[in-house]
Amino acid sequence: MKNLILILFLVCFAVGSFAQQRVQNQLYQTVGYINTDGKVQNGNYQTIGYINTDGRVQNGNYQNIGYIGKDGRIQNGNYQTVGYVNEDGRVQNGNYQTIGYIDKEGRVQNQNYQTLGYLPNIEKKWAAAFFFFFFSKNND
């Protein structure tokens, strides 16, 4: 569960700065994509959601499933704070407990520094949104 939450915190704020961002797992296998228009796709190019420039994160049916604040605050679809992405790359849950890290090269690690995946060339805060999709998909 913590890995899903961490992965939740890793993909959202670079919508306008790349042509197509590839998301890779710890084995460098592609597991998803984020397009310049904010469309999020799984590894099979199926659209699973959207990341909007205003911070809204939507599922494939355009329902709001979360929000990413400019301050790094992560909220669920009911505006409840579920975590934070700090400027130093630390990812915290809603109780301010560190659950992972994102380094400058885009490596995503859990609280034990085990690599979960890679999101190079993406702002730390926006990395979160990709994992909203996996988190909500597994809980629907």
Supply the pTM of this predicted model.
0.74
Q: In the structure, what pLDDT confidence band is assigned to residue 3 with cuts at 50, 70 and 90?
A: very low
Residue whose C-alpha is closest to residue 108's, from 92, 125, 127, 93? 127
Q: 70: which DSSP letter?
A: T
94 vs 16, more confident:
94
Beta-carbon-side half-sphere exposure of residue 74 (alpha carbons within 13 Å): 30
67 vs 135, more confident:
67
User: For the segment 78-132, what is each residue's pLDDT rounded down to a tens digit?
Assistant: 999 988 888 888 888 889 998 888 888 888 888 899 888 888 777 766 666 665 5
User: For the segment 17-50, what is each residue's pLDDT rounded down to a tens digit?
Assistant: 446 788 888 899 998 888 888 888 988 999 988 9
Position 103 scores a pLDDT of 85
**E strand residue ranges, the chain:** 20-25, 30-35, 39-42, 47-51, 56-59, 64-68, 73-76, 81-85, 90-93, 98-102, 107-110, 115-118
Local structure of 84: helix, strand or coil: strand
